[in-house]
Amino acid sequence: MSIGTPTTNPSPLSSVSPLSSWPSVVDWRAMVVAVCQILGVASVFYLFSAAAVPDVNEAHYWTKAKHFWDPNFCPGDLFLGSADAHWSFYVTLGQWTRVLPLEQAVWCGRWTVWLAMATGWWALTRVFRLGTLPLLGSAALLVVATRWGHLSGEWVVGGAEAKGLAFAWIFGALAAACSQRWSAAFALAGIAAGFHVLAGGWIVVCLLLVGDIRLLASWTMTDRLQNNPSEGSRLKPRGDNAATLLIGLSIGGLASLPGLVPALALTWGQPAEVNQAATAAYVLQRLPHHLVFWSFSPMQLCNFCLLLLAWLVAASGSRQSQGRQDSTSRQVLLGMVHASLLIAAIGVALSLAALGETTESQSAVRWLRYYWFRTADVLLPLGTILLLCQSWGHAITERADRQDARPSRPSIAAARSLSLTLTLAVTLAVTLVAWEGWLSYRQAVRDPRPNADKASLPLDADPARTAAIARHWQAVCTWSRNHTPPDAVFLTPRGQQTFKWYAHRSEVVSWKDVPQDSAGIAEWQQRVNAVAPLWSNDLGVAVADPVAVHELVERYGVTHILMTQYAYELQTRWGRRLPYTRVYPASAQERTYYVVLDARDWRGAP
C-alpha cells in the first residue's frame, strides 16, 4: 500500500553515465543559491539569538558535556555525576569541550546548531515554494513567534543544546511528510528523537496520527481505482509502498535508541515509591511552569490564544492554494498542527486531573512529565508562518493573473478581501520582527550580561548596580577557580546558575541543575530541603543556626561557603558568625557583593 506522495520523473542519471554527465547534471548555480540561502537563514538566527555566553540552558548542558568527557571536571557534583539523559548531545557537540574552553566550545556548538536548523528550515520552506526574501522573513518570524507565542516556555532558536539539533531533523521530517515521503519522515523524526527523545518522540506521534489517516485515504483510493479502472491516474494512489514505509520506521526506530534507551534507564532499578516521589518533585516542584497547565502565566495564555487566532486566519487564507502539491503539503501541515493541539489538549486534561489527586495516587502527575505542550509551542507558530507566507505568495500571483483576465465581480471582491487580510497579517508580522530586533538590541546595550545570569543573579533598579553585581559574581567565581583545589565543594546561593560555568568547582546543590534520573532527583530534593533555610531570603546564612549550618557542612563535605557580604556582616552584628575563616576578599576593608568562607578552617565547633 502507499501513503500518497507524488511520483517523480525518472532520474536523468538512469540513462547517462554518472561520470560523463556530472558537470551537466549538477546545477551549480542552484547549489550556490541554496548554500547562500542557508547561510542567510543561519545569519538571521544569529542576529536574533546571539546573546553573550552562556545562554539560559547552556551552562546546564555544557558543564555536563565537559564532565562527560573529563570526569575530573567538578568531581563530586550532584548534577554532573547524575545519569546522562542527553547522551547523543554529549557524544556529538560535547566533543568541542575536549579541545576548546567552554565559551569557545559553545560558540562552535551554536553555529553547528544554527546551520543545521537553517538547512532543515530551508528544506521545509522549499516544499511551500518560498522565495529568498520570504525564506529569510519566515526564519525571523519563527524566532519571534516561538519566543512570544509559546504556552509552556518552549522556544526553537536560541542557545546550543540538545533540542536545537533535534529541531533541525524535525524540520527535515516535516519537509519529507509534506512532500508525502513518509518513510523518510519517520527516519528523520527518529534521528531527532535520538538527540532529544521528547522533542522528536512527539513529532513521531504526530506523524503516526497524520500518516495513518493518509494511509486510510490511500486504501480508499485503491478500492475506487479497482472499481473504476477507467479513472486511471486521477485516482492512482501515490507514495511509499509498505516495504519502503517499514524500512523508514525501522531506521527511525534504530536512530532513536541513543535518546530512548538513556531516557528509559532513568527509572530502572528504583523502587516505585522513589520513582513516584521523584516525578512529583520534578513536575510539581521544579518544572510546573513547563509541564502543568494551571501554572502557566496569564500572559502566556493570551499570547498563545492570539497565535491560535492567527493560525485560523492563515489556514483560512491558504485554502486558495493552487495545485495538487500545494494542497497536499497544506493538508499534511494542517494535520500535524492539529495533532499537536490534540496532544496539548490531553495535557490540559491531565493538569486538571492532577488537581484532585492525593499524594498516594499521582497517575496524572506521572504522565505530565512528558511535556505535552512542547509540540504545540513549536508546530503552531511554524504552521502559521508557513501558511501565511504561502498564502501571501499565492495572493501576489493571483493579482498578477487578474491583470491579464476578466474575473467576475464576486471573485474580485473575495480576492480583495483575502489580499487585505493577508496584507494586514504581513504588516503585523514585519512590525513584530522589527520590534523584536529593537528589543534585542536595546537589551544587549542596556544589560549585556549573559542570559543565564539575567535569569538568576540579583536584579537592582539601578542598571549600573546590576552590572556591578554581575562583575562581582564573575570575580568571586574566578577567584574560586584559581585559589581552591579542583575537588572543592561549594555551598552557593540560590540566586545563580552559573557557578560551575565560571568557577569550574562543584556545588552541594543548584536549583537550576536538577538531575533527570529518579535517584538523582530524590537526592536533589533532599539537598534542596536541607539548604532551604539558607535560600529562603536575602539574609541567607545570617539568620541560620550556626550549628545547623555546620552539620550541613559535615554531611555534604562542603569545603567552602559562598554568601553575600551583606549576610556575612549581619552575622557579626547579630552575634551568629560562623566559625569559618573568610578567604575572599582578602582585605576586611574591601567592599564586594560576595564573600567566601573556608569551611575546612574553623576555630571550633559552633
In sequence order, which ranges of 484-544 are alpha helices (DSSP H)?
499-503, 518-535
Q: Is the dihedral of CA 205, 207, 208, 212 positive or negative?
A: positive
Nearby residues of 54 by Cβ (< 8 Å), 6 or more positions away: 62, 102, 103, 106, 159, 450, 451, 452, 498, 501
Helix axes 132-148, 409-446, angle to 10 degrees: 60
- The pLDDT of residue 233: 42
pLDDT digits (tens, 9 = 90+) for 79-110: 999 999 999 999 999 999 999 999 999 999 99
Q: Report the candidate in 483, 450, 495 with the shortest Cα–Cα distance to residue 596.
A: 483
pLDDT digits (tens, 9 = 90+) for 29-46: 889 999 999 999 999 999
Whether 16 has a pLDDT exceeding 60, the answer reads no
Nearby residues of 137 by Cβ (< 8 Å), 6 or more positions away: 389, 429, 430, 433
When pLDDT is cut at 50, 70 and 90, the band that residue 211 belongs to is confident
Q: Report the candidate in 230, 223, 177 with the shortest Cα–Cα distance to residue 337.
A: 177
Return the minimum-mean-pLDDT range out of 93-102, 146-155, 209-218: 209-218
Q: What is the pTM of this model?
A: 0.87
DSSP one-letter code for 403 = T
The shares of helix, strand and coil residues in the chain, as percent rounded to the nearest 5, are 70, 5, 30
CA atoms of 481 and 459, how far apart (whole Å):
24
- The pLDDT of residue 236: 40
Grid cell in block for residue 388: 501565511
- The pLDDT of residue 327: 78
Average model confidence (pLDDT) across the chain: 84
pLDDT digits (tens, 9 = 90+) for 483-503: 999 999 999 998 899 999 999
Percent of residues, the chain, with pLDDT higher than 70: 80
- What is the CA 404 to chain-centroid distance, rounded? 47
When pLDDT is cut at 50, 70 and 90, the band that residue 577 belongs to is confident
pLDDT digits (tens, 9 = 90+) for 499-526: 999 999 999 999 999 999 999 999 999 9
Edge-first strand listing for the sheet containing 580-584: 506-507, 489-491, 560-564, 594-602, 580-584
What are the residue boundaries of the structural domains of the chain, listed by start?
Answer: 19-442, 457-494+505-602
**Do 373 and 347 touch, CB atoms closer than 8 A?**
yes
